[in-house]
Amino acid sequence: MMEMIYTETAPKAIGPYSQAMKVNDFLFLSGQIPVNPVTNEVVEHDIIQQTNQVMKNIKAILESEGLTLENIIKTTIFIKDMSQFPIINEEYSKYFNEHKPARSTVEVSALPKNVLIEIEAIAYMGQ
């Protein structure tokens, strides 16, 4: 069973995709970029602010399905500059405490809307 997920509390998709797809006990979140869902604009060009906005967007999608960050089992982080990895890591870690999802981090040459970071996630909805 598959279901497209949409919430007003996260940025609208900027292309032909959904914010997330629910498949059985899993929620697959599309890559989130640092767009404020209220203004629909990219937040300031600063890696700390952009990382935090992305995490807020992920959290909003999860919450729309009654989930928390604790349900995330895997993330993939796409960044434009690997030298910013320590800063990103510090901000990212503030959201996970003892829960440590599996993760990959990849440096890319460009991201949508010229942002500095994009994060996608997979969450488990079962007990």
CATH number of the CATH domain containing 65: 3.30.1330.40
**What predicted TM-score, i.e. pTM, was given to this entire model?**
0.96
CB atoms within 10 A of CB 80: 16
Q: Is the dihedral of CA 41, 42, 45, 51 positive or negative?
A: positive
Of 118, 122, 125, nearest in space to 13 by CA:
118
Question: Which pLDDT tens digit goes with each residue over 6-65?
Answer: 999 999 998 899 999 999 999 999 999 999 999 999 999 999 999 999 999 999 999 999
- State how many domains the chain has: 1
Question: Which pLDDT tens digit goes with each residue over 104-121?
Answer: 999 999 999 999 999 999
Q: Range of 43's domain?
A: 2-124
